[in-house]
Structure 1
Amino acid sequence: MAQLQMADVNGTAGQQLASNGERVDPGGFKLKFCTVCASNQNRSMESHLRLASAHYPVISFGTGSLVRLPGPTITQPNVYQFNKTSYDSMYKELEAKDPRLYRANGLLNMLERNRGVKWGPERWQDWQIGVPRLDHSTDKGSAGVEGGVVDVVITCEERCWDAVVDDLHSRGSLLNRPVHIINVDIKDNHEEALVGGRGILDLADSLNKAAAEERELDPSGFDSGNAASRASFDERVPEIIGEWQERWPNLPATWTLGWF
């Protein structure tokens, strides 16, 4: 397979690209990620695809009560249920309603991307943490998250960050496993989602590099989510985010350490 050297200003120098433009899997340890936005449609899905294409284990969710997509007017949104409506069925419905409108506003292109990533939008509050996700084997990024836990949750809006933090508090720390919850504030449009996706991948790379270094001290403890084994990595995360924020000043970030 042909490989190209990739180097840019966002910390990806030295990585290899395959002939199809995707990153070559370097192997080794990888953190598990979860991306979250309101409807699991635009920002979280762009980031999900970016991380999966870089060979990170990743899942994604929305925090809203319903999936809402723009309609012909502001008072006529297209509304769907989480976990029950596929991206493919949304695509076909909107294409049948008004292909010109939904092609022009980018919804059909977005849904075309989404249906190539996973079956449909999932709701964070319905996620059974720690329960195997055996019916998601065809999702991009599914390898590594079959066990139903992640190391880092990245939300794309402050209200989504609040919803995730509040939900975890209400569930209690049943697994006694630390999880980093980071909000990267991204405007909900297609152009900003692309920029945000690149920023989130850069942040993931920085976090993963530090985690791999700290994991060498106690690999089995780190992999099991043992708090003591992860403490040195946990302590480095705020500094990593601060350095990342200097590279991405237009993507305001917020962080907290939570528990599964």
Structure 2
Amino acid sequence: MPVDVKFAVVCSSNMNRSMEAHSFLQKKGFNIASYGTGAQIKIPGKSEKEPNQYPFGTTYDEIYTDLKTKDKGLYTKNGMLHIMERNRRIKKGPEKFQETKNKYDVILTVEEKVYDQVLADFSEKGNQSDEPVHVINMNVVDNPEDATIGAFLLCDLASLLSVSEDLDNDIDEIVQEFESKSQREILHSVLFY
């Protein structure tokens, strides 16, 4: 797999959807990183009105220990401990997209709100170069099953993008082809660092 295309995948908390895709694409040999755009890391709690919230900078180990201490049975049953185990094998903790200085060729987002936050971050920082970055959104429901399906689809898209000999010229056609094949609505913007 060509490693010259640098990918990032972004969800809100860098917990489920972005980490499932990060894991899957990494195993397939892609140059991949992952991030969240939210104000805080939010994951399911005892009820929808009581999510667990952590500041970015909290490690996956710390979240795992906190959940295990709070209610090992609940967080085993809802899959959160399994998700933390997967995540901590990949990297230390959730990272906030708005804080990274890294540059990517393609940024994959999994929710329109996250896509808008990525675009807003680029707008806020302003163009400092003429290096293009393609931001592509495909909505993925935030649950473990859809995160897995989303990871497969994003890997298919990444495969198509990474074999292009001229990504900037081919991307619109690749995105259209992928959109009709996957039956998913895709948003695409070209921005500059």
What is residue 258 of structure 1 aligned with on the other side? 191
Deviation at 1:108, TM superposition (A): 0.7
Listed as ranges, the gaps of 5+ residues in structure 1 are 1-25, 129-147, 215-232
Instruction: Kindly provide the amino acid, as one letter, of the partner of residue 204 in structure 1.
Output: A
Deviation at 1:246, TM superposition (A): 2.1
Q: Tell me the secondary structure at the aligned position of residue 255 of structure 1.
A: strand
What is residue 92 of structure 1 aligned with on the other side? 65
Q: Tell me the secondary structure at the aligned position of residue 192 of structure 1.
A: helix
Deviation at 1:94, TM superposition (A): 0.5
Where do 1:112-191 residues align within 5 Å?
A: 112-128=85-101, 148-191=102-145
Instruction: Kindly provide the amino acid, as one letter, of the partner of residue 10 in structure 2.
Output: V
Deviation at 1:89, TM superposition (A): 1.0
What is residue 8 of structure 2 aligned with on the other side? 34
Identity value in percent: 37
* Greater Rg over alpha carbons, structure: 1
What is residue 139 of structure 1 aligned with on the other side? none
Q: Aligned Cα RMSD in Å?
A: 1.2
Higher strand share: 2
Deviation digits for residues 141-169 of structure 1, max 9, x if unmatched? xxxxxxx2210000000000000011101
What is residue 69 of structure 1 aligned with on the other side? 43
CA contact (8 A) 2:3 2:31 kept: no
Deviation digits for residues 59-96 of structure 1, max 9, x if unmatched? 111010000111112222111011x2100111111111
Moved over 2 A (4+): none
Q: Pick from 235, 246, 256 the counterpart of residue 169 of structure 2.
A: 235
Deviation at 1:52, TM superposition (A): 0.9
Instruction: Kindly provide the amino acid, as one letter, of the partner of residue 86 in structure 2.
Output: R
Q: Tell me the secondary structure at the aligned position of residue 45 of structure 2.
A: coil
Deviation at 1:127, TM superposition (A): 1.4
Instruction: Kindly provide the amino acid, as one letter, of the partner of residue 11 in structure 2.
Output: C
Deviation digits for residues 165-206 of structure 1, max 9, x if unmatched? 111011111132100000011000100000000000000000
The higher relative CO (CA closer than 8 Å, separation ≥ 6) is in 2
Q: Tell me the secondary structure at the aligned position of residue 158 of structure 2.
A: helix
Deviation digits for residues 209-256 of structure 1, max 9, x if unmatched? 11xx23xxxxxxxxxxxxxxxxxx31211110111112211x321101
CA distance in 1, matches of 2:96, 2:3: 28
CA distance in 1, matches of 2:129, 2:64: 38
Listed as ranges, the gaps of 5+ residues in structure 2 are none
Instruction: Kindly provide the amino acid, as one letter, of the partner of residue 106 in structure 2.
Output: V
Instruction: Kindly provide the amino acid, as one letter, of the partner of residue 185 in structure 1.
Output: N
Matched, 1:109 2:43: no
Instruction: Kindly provide the amino acid, as one letter, of the partner of residue 168 in structure 1.
Output: F
Deviation at 1:29, TM superposition (A): 5.0
Higher helix share: 2
Q: Tell me the secondary structure at the aligned position of residue 70 of structure 1.
A: strand
